Chain A
């Protein structure tokens, strides 16, 4: 199927998932917030974050068999990926959200903070991709 249609369907499922978490537990489906709160206090709010993350992990396990071609490697060196992980972990907690919390949930609430965050992280990502691909020629 067409990439764009799959992207819309995938996005729609994410929107449904976020709505389900909102109507059942009244929480924002922001992955960085869920992981960050979970590692501080796994038992908070009846342990719901651990259950949500279990579902996310199950999706990966099912995807490994059902659609392995859609879960691909970056081909980057381990130190580069490690730096990326540290930046994403630190940055999402400092900025209170990531692509899901600010991108999907925050923009759905028309939150000015989330709009500013989305603009900022897309701009920063675009600068890094520009430098790594077009200035350094993919040397990272």
Chain B
């Protein structure tokens, strides 16, 4: 048993070096961990229960505040930790931080957010919980996740048809 760690992994090169695999595996594992933590937070916070989400949006009914506390917990932790992270010149595995810089309000932002909110209120799913619940096998959530992707593809086609057109000979 004590020799397990000396067995070369399948990705090791014939000379035994593993330098090529290692730098890629750790960033990938940390990205998986981030997604896993994110999904766990959604489940623990109750966001994979659409009735809690719709209950939050039901301000004139029996209001359910869970979503507000998920938001508060998320923003509180991220805001605080971000102050330390952004003191670094760059993230661990990239040359620069890729943060949005726009601060102006425009029509697509507001119309898009309104359309998203309408769909959110209709079924109680936003993208994260929808994908997590679909992975857990919920039929409604699978329908949501599939149509979510279709909606995105339609928007991509409407907003920027270039990627398809330039590669298609007419």
Contact = CB atoms under 8 A, between A and B. Distances in A.
Interface of A: 3-4, 6-29, 31-32, 35-36, 39-40, 45-49, 51-64, 67-68, 70-76, 78, 80-96, 98-100, 102-109, 111-113, 116-118, 120-130, 132-134, 140
Nearest to A119: B113
Contact of B131 (A7, A35, A86): A35
Nearest to B53: A125
Given A19-B85, A54-B35, A91 B114 contact: yes
Interface residues of B, number: 114
Interface of B: 24, 27-51, 54, 57-61, 65-79, 81-82, 85, 88, 90-94, 96-100, 102-105, 108-128, 130-141, 143-156, 159, 163
A74 to B, nearest CB: 4
A51 B139 CA distance: 24
B119 A84 contact: yes
Contacts of B85: 19, 22-23
A102 B114 CA distance: 13
10 contacts: A6-B46, A9-B44, A57-B131, A80-B122, A81-B140, A83-B119, A85-B148, A94-B111, A99-B126, A126-B121
B37 A120 contact: no
B38 A18 contact: yes
Given A85-B144, A90-B115, 15 more contacts: A11-B45, A21-B34, A29-B34, A57-B39, A57-B132, A60-B133, A71-B136, A73-B139, A84-B123, A90-B151, A93-B152, A103-B75, A109-B99, A109-B100, A117-B110
Contact of B77 (A7, A12, A39): A12
Given A16-B77, A84-B144, A91-B115, A71 B138 contact: yes
Contact of B109 (A80, A96, A129): A96
B69 A8 contact: yes
Contacts of A88: 115-116, 119-120, 125-127, 130, 144, 148, 151
